[in-house]
Amino acid sequence: AARAKAAVDLVRALHAAAQRAEALANEGEERSARLQETGEAAHRDATAAATEAQRARSETGHLRQRLTEVEQETAEAVRAGWLDDSAPDADPARA
């Protein structure tokens, strides 16, 4: 009888351990899925931010180039006498 009881106790203990292991595995899978979703969202956000930064850099480059062109055109207009820069507070760009 003692052996039968020990066998039953062992089966119960193994069953409980298996249930705990299954619960741990489920928790691990759920956590993994959440982390993967978070990682994918972070990657999408990082990609979008990098794309936006590149657009901003490109736009900045274009604006700087255009500003240089406008400065050159303004200087040429002053030299040609089309704009007056003789006043102390003259801003040929506003003429």
Task: Going residue by residue through the chain, which has 95 residues, state the pLDDT in tens, using 9 for 90 and above.
Answer: 999 999 999 999 999 999 999 999 999 999 999 999 999 999 999 999 999 999 999 999 999 999 999 999 999 999 999 988 776 666 655 55
pTM flag (> 0.85): no
Q: Which residues contact 70 (CB under 8 A, 6 or more apart)?
A: 93
Q: What secondary structure does DSSP assign to 51-84, as a single string? A: HHHHHHHHHHHHHHHHHHHHHHHHHHHHHTTSS-
Q: Residue 89's pLDDT is what?
A: 66
Q: Residue 57's pLDDT is what?
A: 98
- Amino acid 32 reads S
Structural domain that includes position 29: 2-94
C-alpha pair distances (Å), 20 with each of 13, 23, 32? 11, 5, 18
Q: Residue 62's pLDDT is what?
A: 98
Measured CA to CA, the distance from residue 50 to residue 57 in angstroms comes to 10
